Amino acid sequence: MNLFTETNLSPDILKAIGELGYESPTEIQKQTIPFILSDIRDLIALAQTGTGKTAAFSLPILDMIDDTSRKIQLLVLCPTRELCLQITKDIKNYSKYMKDIKTTAVYGGSSIMDQIRSLKDKPQIIVGTPGRVIDLINRKALDFSAIHWLVLDEADEMLSMGFKDELETILSETPETKQTFLFSATMSKEVERISKNYLTKPHRISVGSINEVKKNIKHEYYVIGYRQKKEALKRLIDSNPNQYSIIFCRTRMETQEVADFLMQNGYAADALHGDLSQAQRDTVMKKFRLKNIDILVATDVAARGLDVNSLTHVIHYSLPDDPEVFVHRSGRTGRAGKDGISIALIKPEESRKLKQIKSVTKIEMHEGKIPTGEDIIKAQVGGVFESLFEIHEDFFEFDDSLIPDLSAFTKEELAHKLLQFQLKDLALYYKDRHDLMDQKLSSRDDDGGSRRDRRDRDRDRGRDRDRGERSERGGKPRRKNEDMVRFFFNLGKKDQLKKLDVLDIINKATSGKSKKRAEIGDIEILEKFSFFEVEKSFKDNVLSNIGSMKFKGKEMRAEVAN
């Protein structure tokens, strides 16, 4: 099947997708459309984001749906409001000439009463997020007893966002006779478990693999210490002028911090994360799509459903834990036949994680040097002329007589004056700035000493405090540091964190079947982050449990401190 016209899809569907410019199906569409049209088995389809999965499942279902029935026949579940709206829009476009087909989106962040009223139109297709679907089931506003098809789109993301219980509840509300299609970018253990419990002998389609990354994306990485990370990011942005990029961060707090830093330094940037209201998220996404801002700082989850084909760069401000997530992030650039650049900023201690990503993905990454001020000015000069020679329409008219006599200048002199005027502020900023030295994996720490020296200083400071201090718990003398593990903790004073809070968090993270309680050492709360020490035997408990806890609604993260 090389053309959509070679399928058995109805003329109304072919007319609609033809107007959308659809001619040749993608690989996932080539395999999925004939299967759904001809087979009654369940399906697991593995394909990366942006490969055309919505058309792959919706086109054949639209071809088979009963437009004379007013019962819900198709339910599509997806992780985010943005993706929900995008799928709904696509299905409505595909069914443009199917006048009796109605599609309704249900999602959180909008009036549930408005959505209940929209259900009175008796749609045959529901696209929804798990939480809102559960709410509507509980209000008896949704009845799935007659559905023929259930689609779990971005199943891995729904599970990673904690929708496991909601998915299982919804699945239990649907008839056993339905056909279930599970679409996912990865096959995690949770996705595998859901498929085993709720799919019956599913057929599998896998399009591409983690090892088949886009060839038109150049991958670069830069090793830099934590304290210099934001300045390094600024230099990389300045050395890549005219970029339209997404910067990926691990947490909501980090996302906002990086966006604030960029905006304070005059960049057209904004943040997209879960702490924003829905109206704020919509505004940010609209500004980015319209290119009113050209840098979006986002978490992985918040960026789901944001479909932009003209990104020039993806910047990994923080590396993801999953190599496949790295590939998915990077794949947002280099679309529509264009080249793209993926840039990763890594701390020296993340060398093992980077090696794992390179090993699993087989991506060829090139280590770069943080650009100097001179490098940046050279790149900016090229950027000015690149912008100048783009095809521009005339935005206003003026009399040529307003242009002064320039005959006394050569073209080189005029260009020199133009560049001095255009790049004055940037040149002054970098004029007296020291170059950022690459932080090699064997390099010295940010404050001038080696990492081993820093550990020694920390140990010595701990011993000094041991002479006069008692433990934060029970007045018992602290253990020597050799028996303790020192952790970095991502919350601090600005999060209203107190020592008693840290004690409570550690106790909860280390509590288990054993009656033994973890010995807690020094607790140091700083403005934006903290450090604490815990008995070595409880190291794994801290690392595995704190990430699933929250403090006053904020995500927590603990890492072993160097």
User: For residue 412, what are its two tokens?
Assistant: 């080189």
The CATH number of residue 481's host domain is 3.30.70.330
Q: Answer yes or no: are the C-beta atoms of 30 and 191 closer than 8 Å.
A: no
CA 520/CA 534 separation, integer angstroms: 5
pLDDT at 155: 86
Say whether pLDDT at 94 is over 60: yes
Q: Report yes or no on 470 lying in a domain.
A: yes
Angle at 477 between CA 472 and CA 478, to 5 degrees: 70
Say whether pLDDT at 450 is over 60: no
Q: Are 479 and 538 members of one domain?
A: yes
pLDDT at 438: 44
pLDDT at 95: 96
pLDDT band of residue 482 (cuts 50, 70, 90) is low
Q: Are 137 and 227 members of one domain?
A: no
Higher pLDDT pick, 443 / 245: 245
Say whether pLDDT at 448 is over 50: no
The CATH number of residue 380's host domain is 3.40.50
pLDDT at 279: 82
Q: Report yes or no on 99 lying in a domain.
A: yes
Q: Report yes or no on 267 lying in a domain.
A: no
Digit-coded pLDDT (tens) for 265-299 = 889 999 998 788 878 888 898 899 889 999 999 99
Give the chain's mean pLDDT. Answer: 84
Single out the residue in 407, 426, 443 at which a domain terminates.
Answer: 443
pLDDT at 239: 92
Q: Are 127 and 234 members of one domain?
A: no
* Residue 132: half-sphere exposure toward Cβ, Cα within 13 Å: 25
Single out the residue in 443, 476, 504 at which a domain terminates.
Answer: 443
Higher pLDDT pick, 495 / 151: 151
Q: Are 407 and 460 members of one domain?
A: no
Say whether pLDDT at 432 is over 80: no
Nearest to 207 by CA among 1, 333, 5, 52: 52
Nearest to 127 by CA among 183, 161, 82: 82
Q: Report yes or no on 66 lying in a domain.
A: yes
Section 105-125 average pLDDT: 93
Digit-coded pLDDT (tens) for 18-47 = 999 888 888 899 999 999 999 999 999 988
Domain range enclosing 548: 451-560
Q: Report yes or no on 249 lying in a domain.
A: no
Q: Are 455 and 516 members of one domain?
A: yes
Say whether pLDDT at 68 is over 90: yes
CA 55/CA 32 separation, integer angstroms: 10
- Segment holding 247, helix H or strand E: strand 245-249
Say whether pLDDT at 452 is over 60: no
Q: Are 459 and 426 members of one domain?
A: no
pLDDT band of residue 469 (cuts 50, 70, 90) is very low
Q: Report yes or no on 405 lying in a domain.
A: yes
The CATH number of residue 143's host domain is 3.40.50.300
pLDDT at 439: 40
Q: Are 78 and 184 members of one domain?
A: yes
Left if phi > 0, otherwise alpha if psi is -120 to 50, otherwise beta: which for 324?
alpha
Single out the residue in 392, 416, 443 at which a domain terminates.
Answer: 443
Say whether pLDDT at 458 is over 70: no
Q: Report yes or no on 475 lying in a domain.
A: yes
Nearest to 423 by CA among 373, 384, 371, 389: 384
Q: Are 326 and 433 members of one domain?
A: yes
Q: Are 52 and 167 members of one domain?
A: yes
pLDDT at 443: 38
3-state secondary structure of 271: strand
Q: Report yes or no on 264 lying in a domain.
A: no
Share of the chain above pLDDT 90, in %: 40
Q: Are 457 and 512 members of one domain?
A: yes
Nearest to 554 by CA among 492, 488, 484: 492
Say whether pLDDT at 445 is over 70: no
Q: Are 99 and 234 members of one domain?
A: no
Say whether pLDDT at 138 is over 60: yes
Q: Are 239 and 158 members of one domain?
A: no
User: What's the structural domain count of the chain?
Assistant: 3
Say whether pLDDT at 459 is over 50: no
